């Protein structure tokens, strides 16, 4: 198509974006919003109860938190952009134009957020006494700005699954305020506060505190965490309701992880166990007589990280075969463009084909354009494992009926001849394995 192709060495394209995005979600939710909220809460409690311990607790957290937000959180966020620019330029380019203004405003708010954070950080020791109230208010404004950036970006994420009437009417409001927007935003904010509580409790556990303060602070963060957890569960169910059934049907399958598809009950059990760890963490924090163990706190943070990763993974998988439902398939082909490619050919309409394909079989080029956004050759979602054991004519037939056979895959883009070329290429790719692959009858 219009842009050159990129293939991430070693880990493949899909895993590259997944790693960066999950890291960013953990930091932007858990540290920037959640961490910010618990720091400001600590300062507020310090001021209200004239407690130097609360004050010191917040003060200790602010510098590392600032570094994490600025040096890791922000670059991973921009990183999502960097990575999608090379692996899915058409998708990110289209989303950028459709949501130009939210993105532009998000940049302004983000700049404001960082300015407030820096002022908050540098004035902590200076705005004391009567000015302390002002400092707390400044902190709240900072956290508010962080939440606002989430509110601006979630509209775009929601659109990528529930594009509502946009494919027909192209109205911005429909695209941004789509059916899964509000539930997802509430879910994310609840998630952020919960992660923030875990962050605070880990600080509490691994820093020097008096026993009395630790007990008192645990109860506070335990209560906030419980509230956040309720929000997460309710908003999660609400979010599920907002998704069309056809996407939910392939929720597990579209992950591309066979174990998950074949063992939904085991997955449920694992999630239940993780949920139990999270609940244990909340309950232990709330019980007056129970001293929370460090292992429970660490366990809960691991469980929370796994939940976050799982949610983002499922959300990103579920939207398949689309990246912009009703408009663009996950492989960057426009829904209206696919029949055109079937007629006119993909290679002839790939601007860079003649240059890039020097020394590259055309089948590989067709693979890169049609499949490489989700499949890698080797690594995660290995295409060789998917077509192993199939003869060339079988692959050809499967390619021609892909969107029907596997409902979360886009249709093949290209002429009949190109379909044959890709089938032969994939067959050659797997021929070596085919014999050793024990098959059924």
Partner 1 sequence: MNQLTGLLFNDPLPARINEGLLFSAFFLHLVFVLAMIGTALISLTYFILKRTGMPKASRDFHSDVMRPFIVLEAFAVVLGVAPLLLIQVGFTVSFFTAVIFLGRYWVSVILLIIVALVLLDLYENRIEHSPAGSRGALVLGVLGVFSLLAIPGVFVAAIVVAENPQQWAAVATLGGRVPGELAWLWLARYLHVIGAAVFVGAGFQYLRASDPDHKQRMLMLMIGSALYQGVIGMVLLTVLPRGVSWMTVALLGIAVLAVVIGTFALALSVGAGKPLASTAIAAIVFAILLPMLLTRQSIQDRGFRPVRETSRKAAVEYARDLQPYAEPALAAYQARLQMPLPDGAARYASSCQFCHGPAADGRGKASADLAIPPESIRDVRTTRAHLNALVMSGTVNTAMSNFRFYTPAQRDQIFDFLDWQYHVFSPPEPITQAISADARTQGTALWANTCSNCHGEDGRGSKFGLALAPPPPDFSQYSIRPAAMVGVIKDGYAGTAMAAYPDIPEEVRWGLAEMILARRVSQP
* Tokens linked to 131: 């000015």
What is the C-alpha to C-alpha distance for residues 168 and 31, in angstroms, rounded to an integer? 39
What is the C-alpha to C-alpha distance for residues 349 and 329, in angstroms, rounded to an integer? 17
Tell the smallest beta-carbon distance from residue 377 to partner 1 (Å).
16
Each as own residue / partner, the long-range contacts of residues 348-351 (CB below 8 Å, 24 or more positions apart, any chain) are 349/1, 350/1, 351/1, 351/2, 351/3
Tell the smallest beta-carbon distance from residue 352 to partner 1 (Å).
6
Q: Which is nearer to partner 1, 290 or 392 (CB)?
A: 392
Tell the smallest beta-carbon distance from residue 62 to partner 1 (Å).
11
Q: Strands 328-329 and 322-324, how do they pair? A: antiparallel
Provide the 3-class DSSP secondary structure of residue 251: coil
Q: Which is nearer to partner 1, 62 or 303 (CB)?
A: 62
Q: Which is nearer to partner 1, 137 or 360 (CB)?
A: 360
Tell the smallest beta-carbon distance from residue 50 to partner 1 (Å).
29
What is the C-alpha to C-alpha distance for residues 259 and 377, in angstroms, rounded to an integer? 19
Q: What are phi and psi of 328, to 5 degrees?
A: -135, 135
Q: Which is nearer to partner 1, 111 or 128 (CB)?
A: 111
Q: Which is nearer to partner 1, 97 or 208 (CB)?
A: 97
Cα 22 → chain centroid? 5
> If 0-12 CB within 10 Å is exposed, 13-18 middle and 19+ buried, where does residue 413 land?
buried
Q: Which is nearer to partner 1, 190 or 411 (CB)?
A: 411
Tell the smallest beta-carbon distance from residue 398 to partner 1 (Å).
6
Tell the smallest beta-carbon distance from residue 13 to partner 1 (Å).
10
Q: Which is nearer to partner 1, 51 or 381 (CB)?
A: 381
| DSSP per residue, 372-399 | TTT-BSSSTTBHHHHHTT--HHHHHHHH
Tell the smallest beta-carbon distance from residue 196 to partner 1 (Å).
20
């Amino acid at each position: 198509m219009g842009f050159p192709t990129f293939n991430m060495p070693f880990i493949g394209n899909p895993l590259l974006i997944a790693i960066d995005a999950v890291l960013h979600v953990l930091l932007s939710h858990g540290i920037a919003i959640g961490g910010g909220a618990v720091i400001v809460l600590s300062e507020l409690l310090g001021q209200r109860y004239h407690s130097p311990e609360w004050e010191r607790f917040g003060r200790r957290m602010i510098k590392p938190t600032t570094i994490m937000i600025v040096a890791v959180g922000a670059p991973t966020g921009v990183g999502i952009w960097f990575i999608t620019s090379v692996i899915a330029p058409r998708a990110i380019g289209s989303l950028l134009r459709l949501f130009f203004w939210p993105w532009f405003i998000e940049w302004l708010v983000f700049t404001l957020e960082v300015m407030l954070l820096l002022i908050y950080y540098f004035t902590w020791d200076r705005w004391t006494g009567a000015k302390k109230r002002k400092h707390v208010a400044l902190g709240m404004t900072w956290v508010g700005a962080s939440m606002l950036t989430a509110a601006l970006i979630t509209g775009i994420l929601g659109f990528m699954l529930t594009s509502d009437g946009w494919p027909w009417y192209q109205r911005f409001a429909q695209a941004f305020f789509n059916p899964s927007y509000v539930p997802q935003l509430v879910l994310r904010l609840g998630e952020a506060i919960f992660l923030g509580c875990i962050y605070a409790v880990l600080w509490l556990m691994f820093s020097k505190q008096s026993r009395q303060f630790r007990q008192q602070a645990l109860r506070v963060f335990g209560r906030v965490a419980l509230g956040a957890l309720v929000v997460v569960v309710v908003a999660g169910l609400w979010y599920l309701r907002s998704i069309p059934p056809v996407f939910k049907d392939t929720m597990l399958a579209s992950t591309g992880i066979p174990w998950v598809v074949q063992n939904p009950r085991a997955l449920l059990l694992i999630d239940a166990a993780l949920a139990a760890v999270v609940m244990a963490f909340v309950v232990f924090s709330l019980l007056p007589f129970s001293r929370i163990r460090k292992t429970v706190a660490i366990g809960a943070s691991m469980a929370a990280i796994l939940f976050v990763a799982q949610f983002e993974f499922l959300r990103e998988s579920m939207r398949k075969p689309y990246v912009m439902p009703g408009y663009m398939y996950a492989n960057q082909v426009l829904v209206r463009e696919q029949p055109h490619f079937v007629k006119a050919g993909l290679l002839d309409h790939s601007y860079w084909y003649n240059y890039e394909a020097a020394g590259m079989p055309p089948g590989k080029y067709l693979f890169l354009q049609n499949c490489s956004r989700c499949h890698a050759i080797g690594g995660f979602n290995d295409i060789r494992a998917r077509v192993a054991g199939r003869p060339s004519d079988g692959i050809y037939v499967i390619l021609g009926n892909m969107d029907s056979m596997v409902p979360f895959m886009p249709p093949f883009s290209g002429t009949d001849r190109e379909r044959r070329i890709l089938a032969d290429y994939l067959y050659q790719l797997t021929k070596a394995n085919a014999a050793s692959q024990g098959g059924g009858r």
